[in-house]
Structure 1
């Protein structure tokens, strides 16, 4: 196509040159005869120029049409190139993926092995959690027992304190009663001694008066005062209080 354009440009150029040479002035115009003036075609150059202008316009239109078609072809070639480039990249990616399939299989196998290991570890952890729960229950039971023992010790100490208080109170009561009993016994002894003194004085006065010792006999409903024997042994009672 471009070779035809070049040949047409060359033809137009040659025609223009020939026309210009035909229109050039002859060196000796005076030699021509006046009779040939009417036979000269003055429109010959204009026709040639018009002819070549038409060819030039045709060439220009063909050039523009070729440029548009070349642009369309370039766009088509670019689209085909992009499509082929994408397909080539897809093929490269596919080849890479196909080449990576063994590695993927190995990775999947490794993951399966790791999952199995994790499953065993989970079972061990679960068993350890059960043991820990049992140990926690045992510790809670021991803590509860210690708490109950502590409460029992506090209760025992409280009761021992109360028992010591009761013992002290009973000891004080016993001491007071013993003291009162001793005072009462001393009072009875004193009264008895006074009675004996009065009787002795009366008998002495009677003996002085009569010279005979009188004998007094009085009925007694109960034991005589001298027959009352007080027990001074409080060992059993003290042992009970100190026990």
Structure 2
């Protein structure tokens, strides 16, 4: 910025110099020496007949450059004020940067201080997580074992209940079988009693008939002839009404005994 101002001033000076040179219109005449006393000094004289000076020749140029000079001074003042403002902003930014640098240094020192502690804490957390994972694995294994034991206990319980039911069923069937055996025995005894009574009645009738015949005629019938009762029933013709299924079950029961 200042270099541009300097260049502008130099250009103004050069323009002013060239303008002053153009103010005089004429030629410069060098007069020769007339005497030996004036030979050591030389002077320049102008030709008065050709001398024509325009005193207003560079006025507009000077006025233009004066205005430009005033504008340059104003711009310079504005640039100086802007430079001061920029310098203030730069100083503020520098202060902010210094504060940030201090804060960053403090943070870095604090972070370096707590970095080791953070690393140790992370390692402890990692060990705790590994321990927790191992405990979870053991817990899973314990749960699996517990489920197996519960399944075994349930199986044993069901097996015991089934066995108990089977024992109760066997006992109940045995009791039913004993009751049925008693019923069959009672029925068989009744049938045997009926057969014995029937035989006794037949024998008694035959004996009474033979006794009457002996009393009347003094004769005794042969014992090898079949005797008939009064109603014409013979002992060989007597048959009992027995259920075949009951007879088979009774025979199986006797074979088991």
TM over 0.5, shorter chain:
yes
Unaligned ranges ≥5, structure 1: 1-50, 207-212, 226-236
- 3-state SS of the aligned residue for 1:218? coil
Secondary structure, counterpart of 1:190 in structure 2: helix
Runs of 5+ in structure 2 lacking a partner? 1-61, 227-234, 236-249
Q: How many residues align?
A: 175
Shift of 1:197: 1.2
2:114 maps to 1:103: yes
Superimposed CA distance per residue, residues 108-167 of structure 1 (whole angstroms, 9 cap, x where no aligned partner): 113313432443454345335434433432332122111111111112222322332233
Counterpart CA distance in 1 for 2:90 and 2:203 is 153
* Aligned residue runs from structure 1 range 1-243, under 5 A: 58-59=69-70, 62-71=73-82, 74-75=85-86, 77-78=88-89, 81-82=92-93, 85-86=96-97, 88-206=99-217, 213-219=218-224
Shift of 1:185: 1.1
Query: If the length of structure 2 is used for normalisation, what is the TM-score?
Result: 0.53
Deviation digits for residues 150-202 of structure 1 (CA, Å, limit 9, x no counterpart): 11111222232233223322322221121111111111111111111111111
- CA gap of 1:218–1:68, structure 2 versus 1, over 3 A, is same
Cα distance between partner residues in 1 of 2:94 and 2:190? 131
Supply the RMSD in Å over aligned alpha carbons. 4.1
More helix by share: 1
Q: Residue deviations 1:9-40, cap 9 Å, x none?
A: xxxxxxxxxxxxxxxxxxxxxxxxxxxxxxxx
Deviation larger for 58-67 or 143-152:
58-67
Query: Distance between the aligned counterparts of 1:200 and 1:65, measured in 2?
Result: 185
CA distance in 2, matches of 1:76, 1:175: 137
| Cα distance in structure 2, aligned partners of 1:192 and 1:79 | 157
Post-superposition offset of 1:87:
5.7
**Quick check: 78-87 or 133-142, which moved more?**
78-87
